[in-house]
Amino acid sequence: MTEIRGRLSKMQASVDANGVVQYQWVVNEQPVLAMNELIGQRIQLQYHGSIICQHCHSNTKSSFAQGYCYRCFQRLAQCDRCMMSPELCHFHQGTCREPEWAERVCFNDHIVYLANSSSVKVGITRATQMPVRWLDQGASQALPIFRVKERRLSGLLEAILRTQVADKTNWRTLLKHDAPEIDLVAVQQRLWDDLAQPLNACIEQQSVGAITALSDCPVQQFIYPVQQYPVKISSLNLDKTAEVSGRLMGIKGQYLIFDVGVINVRKFSSYQVTLHF
């Protein structure tokens, strides 16, 4: 049996020429193993009881915001509430935790998109993170609908759009089956028609060119490497069970699908683990 040990990160995902999502196991911030090749095999994931903060690399008893110690969670801009709710950005108030970091990350082009994972959802991502953001969420389809000049504006648009569509994925539904295909272009048009007044008002309040509606983007489609979906969803947790093993039946989003349950790899970022295969 072969083993790989190190500090865990979310899996690296890409799409091949056939639209199939390819996954790499990542430890110590380096991709080390093509995971698609292990589907159908028995593997074991062992947690060694140690968590190392992904920012300061100190030992921490608990993980916050998927891989940070409490001190970093409290002081880093990337752990602030506005990263989950960009419309709450407070940079203009002079209270940003890390203004230089925000200028690099938040003040560049972002995309507002529709995706089909467990159902239609609205989301946002940096333009440079397409299609990674969609793959991490397990979306089978995705359609960019707005391009904006800063993260806060993407949050304002998302807040309007989520009055009619969800902004979260139902992870249990995601892992039960392939999502039925949805006409995302038709959904986009319906949202633009139904929400024309608040969307136009938001656009008119910004400088010229700050928000661009995207009307001619193609729908992107992705195929996940899953041999068999579970009949019943059972969540596996390294905090409760230090060793998880079983036959790997597939991968979707950041979930490993075993014949005995599913585990969200991203949830255990910064955990010291060994993968046996």
Tens-place pLDDT, residues 179-206: 999 999 999 999 999 999 999 999 999 9
How far, CA to CA in Å, does 167 sit from each of 29, 32, 115, 119, 227?
A: 29, 33, 10, 10, 28
The predicted structure's pLDDT at residue 1: 85
Q: How confident is the model over 2-20, as a mean pLDDT?
A: 97
Q: How confident is the model over 105-124, as a mean pLDDT?
A: 97
Residue pLDDT, tens place only, 145-161: 999 999 999 999 999 99
Contact 211, 157 (CB under 8 A): yes
DSSP 2-49: -EEEEEB-PPEEEE-TTSBEEEEEEETTEEEEEGGGGTTSEEEEEEEE
Residue pLDDT, tens place only, 244-277: 999 999 999 999 999 999 999 999 999 999 999 9
Domain ranges of the chain: 3-68+224-276, 74-217
Token output for 192: 């633009």
Q: What is the pTM of this model?
A: 0.95
Judged by phi (left if over 0) then psi (alpha if -120 to 50, else beta), residue 25 lies in beta
Query: In a 10 Å sphere around its CB, with 0-12 CB exposed, 13-18 middle and 19+ buried, how is residue 215 labelled?
Result: exposed
How far, CA to CA in Å, does 123 sit from each of 226, 227, 255?
A: 24, 28, 19
